[in-house]
Amino acid sequence: MSRTRNTLLSVYAITTFQLLGQAISPVVGYVTSDLEAGYNLIASPFHQKDSPTASVLEKQLLTELWSAGTQFSLWKNGQFETFQYDGSGWSDDELNDPSHSLSILPWEGVVLWVPESFQFITSGQLVITDFLSDLKNSSTTAVQPTQSRGGPYSNDIHFVANPNPIFGADFSTLIGRSPSEGDAVLQVEPSGSHLVSRFENGVWIDPHGTNEAPVIPEYSSAFFDLSGNQFEGFSLQVVPEPSSIFLLLSSSFLLAKRRRAESKDF
C-alpha cells in the first residue's frame, strides 16, 4: 500500500505543544492512503470520538462506497473473519444494518482487498499516547506492552497495527520486547505474495536474503508469528462468509433441481 503524506496540520502543531508540556487535547486530523488493487494491510491512527479503544475503521469500513468485490478480513481468535461487498450490500447481513459496528481496536490490523486502486481517507481523534512516546524517543524504541497497546502478546500469530501517522515501527516497538529465535514477521504485497522476515541466530533474515530488520510503515499492519513456526501453513487465501440471502437462494436452487429430477422419475 502506498500512502501520501497528506495529514491535517493540527496533528503536528498540537502535538508539538503537547511535547512542550502544554496539555491540549484532543488531537484531530486525517490521513489519505492510496490503496493499490489487491491486498492492503491497513490501520488507522484515529479512534472514535470519546472512545479511545474503538478504531474509526469500525464504522468507516461499513459506510465507505466500495467497488463490488471489495472484501476485508479481521483476525479474531486465530482465524479470519472475512466479509465481501457485492455492490449493494455485505455478505454478512448484520453489516448492512446502519446501527451495526465492528469490533476493531486501534492496535489491530485489517486485511483489505480492493479490485481497483482507491484513495482511502480516515479522520478522527489521534491515538495519542503511543504517538507521543515515539516522537519523544524514536520509532525504534522498545516500549513495555500494556493493554492499551494490545499486549502482552502470547506465543501465537498476531495481526498488529502501527497507528503512528508519521513513523514506521519495528518489531520491538509494536510487540514490546526484543525478537527471539524463531520469531517471524509477515508483510503482504498487493498481489498476495508473502514477504516473511525471520529472526534466526540472532539476526533478521529478510525476504531478499539480507539482514534488514522489518519495519511496518505508518498506519499499516503486519502479522507477527511468535510461536516459532514462522507462519507454517498460514495463508491469506480467505473465503467470505455467505449471507443468509445467498444461502436462501442456494437452498431454493437445490430444492428446485431436486424436484425436477423427481418429476422425471414419474
Higher pLDDT, 243 or 70: 70
Length of the chain in residues, anyone? Answer: 266
**Cell representation of residue 22:** 502544554
Instruction: Give the model's pLDDT for residue 74.
Output: 94
pLDDT at 86 over 80: yes
Cβ-contact 73, 82 below 8 angstroms: yes
Segment 20-39 mean pLDDT: 73
Helix, strand or coil for residue 95?
Answer: helix
What integer best gives the mean pLDDT of the chain?
77
Segment 32-52 mean pLDDT: 84
Q: Which of 210, 182, 211, 185 is CA-nearest to residue 196? A: 185
CA–CA dist 84, 212 (Å, integer): 35
Sheet architecture: strand order including 51-55: 2-3, 28-35, 118-126, 46-48, 51-55
Q: How does residue 230 score in pLDDT terms, banded at 50, 70 and 90? A: very high
CA–CA dist 160, 224 (Å, integer): 7
Instruction: Give the model's pLDDT for residue 54.
Output: 77
Segment 167-193 mean pLDDT: 93
CB-neighbour burial class of residue 229 (10 A; exposed 0-12, middle 13-18, buried 19+): middle
pLDDT, one tens digit per residue, over 108-133 is 999 999 999 999 888 887 765 545 55
**Cell representation of residue 173:** 516497538
Q: How does residue 236 score in pLDDT terms, banded at 50, 70 and 90? A: confident
Instruction: Give the model's pLDDT for residue 250.
Output: 39
Q: What DSSP letter does each residue of 208-223 carry, written as one string?
A: TSS-PPPEEPTTEEEE
Q: How does residue 163 score in pLDDT terms, banded at 50, 70 and 90? A: confident
Q: Which of 167, 57, 194 is CA-nearest to residue 120? A: 57
